[in-house]
């Protein structure tokens, strides 16, 4: 037993180098929550979440408030009993997957340390594949987006993700302007963040069918998931479910509907690694591809996501660029970004990442 003795929650706030703009709005700073879990036998695990108001309905304030209740419920329990800890969290409160994911990551960190394994091996993964992240162009004018895409290419990234959803005709023009600026060789991934109606999505996707686009994330409102199959069948570009695919229950529903060819897994949507693994298992059985993405987490949570990405060959895509947009890096250890967007994962036991204590203020401690 690795009994949880005390848990500490910290708010983490860091400005971005430039606003991160999607069809859902603009963000100028990171507002996350860090969770530290300690056991009676001296192990310490770290986790983090970045609540995204318009997608998971959580904020830094709600995560801290709910986190205190979760912490009280987990004191005295075995940190390595991941299934049992999730059952306890889910009995305590519905949803709140963002803050639950921070507890999940920290407990996985402890479990992997206890097993003497790097997290990816604890999860059943290997380092047989190279992880490569895209880099994102925020929504804006077509001129600004084309210039940003050119900078990304000049910086050596091999894939570009483009935020759309600002109007069908304008979105077509945005992609055409990017293609004129960078040529046709570098593949694009587009993300409408629910910004189109089904009819608009079909129009845009067919207009861009020859633009070397790997997939389109969440083209229509997530509550219209019953329409997603119609969009998929009319589109020359593969459809990736994002906001409509939070946990494994959503994934199972979308598979039954034949709604999409790909899933975008984010730990802050799934509630952490435990349920994310269940989504991957469903994708494997259904022959779907997976992207591992996230929100505006630091390299701490992204290190957990990168460990997850090494667990299955169906994980074909990585969208792990947001720490590169921070004005400061609060993480000690963790994943390392290399040339061309390559990512190297720590091989020490556990997560292999922690938070620099200089960034930890206003601690909330639960014993």
What is the pLDDT confidence band of residue 194, given thresholds at 50, 70 and 90?
very high
Distance, CA of 274 to chain centre: 14
Q: Is 217 a catalytic residue?
A: yes
For domain 4-117+356-366, give the CATH superfamily: Enolase-like, N-terminal domain (3.30.390.10)
Domain ranges in the chain are 4-117+356-366, 121-354
What is the pLDDT confidence band of residue 128, given thresholds at 50, 70 and 90?
confident
Q: Is 266 a catalytic residue?
A: yes
Nearest to 30 by CA among 50, 9, 44: 50
C-alpha 26/C-alpha 19 separation (Å) is 6
C-alpha 298/C-alpha 191 separation (Å) is 21
For 70-109, the pLDDT digits (tens) are: 999 999 999 999 999 999 999 999 999 999 999 999 999 9
What pLDDT does 367 receive?
87
Q: Which residues of 202-225 are buried (b: 16+ CB within 10 A; e: fewer)?
A: bbbbebbeebebbbbbbbbbbebb
**Residue 230 CB coordination number (10 Å):** 16
**For the chain, percent of residues with pLDDT exceeding 70:** 100
What is the pLDDT confidence band of residue 117, given thresholds at 50, 70 and 90?
very high
For 198-220, the pLDDT digits (tens) are: 999 999 999 999 999 999 999 99
What is the pLDDT confidence band of residue 180, given thresholds at 50, 70 and 90?
very high
Annotated catalytic residue within 142, 266, 269, 275: 266
For 322-359, the pLDDT digits (tens) are: 999 999 999 999 999 999 999 999 999 999 999 999 99
Annotated catalytic residue within 31, 78, 191, 218: 191
Q: Is 17 a catalytic residue?
A: no
Q: Is 191 a catalytic residue?
A: yes
Over residues 226-236, mean pLDDT: 98
For residue 308, the surrounding DSSP H or E stretch is helix 299-309
Check if CATH label 3.20.20.120 holds for domain 121-354.
yes
Over residues 284-291, mean pLDDT: 98
- Output the CA–CA distances (angstroms, integers) from residue 277 to 39, 74, 266, 283, in the order listed: 25, 22, 11, 10
What rounded mean pLDDT belongs to the chain?
97
Annotated catalytic residue within 104, 242, 243, 289: 242
> Phi and psi dihedrals of 213, rounded to 5?
-110, 125
Burial of 152 (0-12, 13-18, 19+ CB in 10 A): buried
What pLDDT does 349 receive?
98
What pLDDT does 27 receive?
92
The model's pTM:
0.97
Over residues 278-291, mean pLDDT: 98
Annotated catalytic residue within 161, 163, 232, 277: 163
């Amino acid at each position: 037993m690795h009994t949880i003795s005390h848990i500490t929650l910290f708010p983490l706030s860091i400005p971005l180098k430039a606003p991160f703009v999607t069809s859902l709005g603009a963000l100028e700073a990171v507002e996350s929550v860090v969770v530290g879990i300690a056991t009676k036998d001296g192990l310490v695990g770290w986790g983090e979440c970045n609540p995204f108001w318009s997608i998971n309905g959580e904020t830094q304030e709600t995560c801290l408030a709910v986190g205190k209740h979760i912490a009280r419920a987990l004191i005295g329990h075995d940190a390595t009993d991941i299934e049992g800890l999730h059952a306890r969290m889910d009995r305590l409160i519905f949803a709140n997957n963002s803050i639950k994911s921070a507890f999940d990551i920290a407990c996985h960190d402890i479990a992997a340390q206890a097993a003497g394994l790097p997290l990816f091996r604890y999860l059943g993964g290997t380092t047989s594949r190279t992880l490569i992240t895209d880099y994102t162009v925020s929504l804006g004018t077509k001129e600004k987006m084309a210039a940003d895409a050119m900078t990304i290419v000049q910086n050596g990234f091999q894939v570009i993700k483009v935020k759309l959803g600002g109007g069908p005709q304008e979105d077509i023009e945005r992609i055409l302007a990017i293609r004129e600026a960078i040529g046709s060789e570098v593949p694009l991934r587009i993300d409408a963040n629910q910004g189109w109606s089904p009819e608009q999505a079909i129009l845009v996707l067919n207009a861009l069918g020859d633009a070397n686009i790997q997939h389109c994330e969440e083209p229509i409102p997530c509550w219209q998931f019953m329409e997603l199959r119609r969009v998929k069948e009319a589109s020359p570009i593969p459809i990736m479910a994002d906001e409509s695919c939070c946990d494994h229950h959503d994934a199972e529903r979308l598979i039954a509907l034949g709604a999409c060819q790909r899933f975008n897994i984010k730990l802050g949507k799934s509630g952490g690694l435990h349920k994310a693994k269940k989504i991957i298992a469903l994708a494997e059985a259904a022959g779907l591809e997976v992207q591992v993405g996230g929100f505006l987490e630091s390299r701490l949570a992204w290190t957990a996501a990168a460990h997850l990405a090494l667990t299955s060959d169906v994980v074909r895509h990585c969208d792990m660029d947001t720490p590169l947009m921070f004005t400061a890096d609060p993480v000690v250890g963790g994943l390392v970004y290399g040339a061309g967007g390559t990512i190297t994962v720590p091989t020490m036991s556990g997560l292999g990442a922690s938070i620099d204590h200089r960034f930890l203020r206003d601690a909330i401690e639960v014993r």
